[in-house]
Amino acid sequence: MAMQQERDGTLSGLFGRMYVVAVEGPIGKIWMESDGALITRSSFEVISGRNAKAPKVLLEAARQMDQYFKRRRKNFELPLQLHGTQFRELVRERLLAIPYGQTTTYGTIARTIGGKAIARTVGQACATNPLPILVPCHRVIAGNGLLTGYVGGLWRKQGLLELEGAIPPNLFPRRHMR
């Protein structure tokens, strides 16, 4: 498993003890955080912590993420901490319903919630998704078929969609790649 053991750790803070693990993948590292029971956050940015033994839920999240990156897993079966406004919860439900290897548009999601006019608001909800990859906001594209906005950068969004077979490799120019 491509888990980065030396960065597993705990954080003690306002909300109690938090555990951290990183998994290496084809689009760089994905950091995941847990309170010991739920996966609370995933991030492309470093979540620091001190060395400690990660709880089972976080080790399972790392195992499933590693399987996903190796194309051996299409769906995550993890307890996720999902919170936010009612609107964000509706968007998150729609994101979780997008099948592996497929995409939808911000407008399509907006129409199922309250009308195409709120497509930008759907985009904002995707942009603030605290659990990228686990809640697959990378599967949402613009109505014109272009890749727009992603918390990890467009090159990661493109990489994830290519990994899943949702778009052909090199469909878009790599000028935004690192």
Same domain, 92 and 64: no
pLDDT in tens, 120-178: 999 999 999 999 999 999 999 999 989 998 998 999 999 999 999 998 777 766 554 44
Same domain, 52 and 125: no
Residue 80 lies in a domain: no
Residue 12 φ then ψ, to 5° = -110, 125
pLDDT, average across residues 81-88: 89
Q: What is the CATH number of the domain that holds 118?
A: 1.10.10.10
Positive or negative, the CA dihedral 8, 138, 154, 127 is negative
Counting Cβ atoms within 10 Å, is residue 38 exposed (0-12), middle (13-18) or buried (19+)? middle
Tokens of 41: 């956050």
Residue 75 lies in a domain: no
Residue 76 lies in a domain: no
Same domain, 10 and 49: yes
Same domain, 150 and 92: yes
pTM given for the model: 0.82
Residue 54's CB is within 10 A of a number of other CB atoms, namely 23
Same domain, 46 and 104: no
pLDDT in tens, 5-33: 334 444 444 456 778 889 999 999 999 98
Residue 178 lies in a domain: no
Last residue of a domain, one of 69, 101, 119: 69
* Count of domains observed in the chain: 2
Positive or negative, the CA dihedral 106, 152, 79, 68 is positive
Catalytic residue among 27, 137, 160, 163: 137
Residue 78 lies in a domain: no
Residue 44 lies in a domain: yes
- Domain of residue 141 covers 86-170
Residue 24 lies in a domain: yes
Active site (annotated) includes residue 137: yes
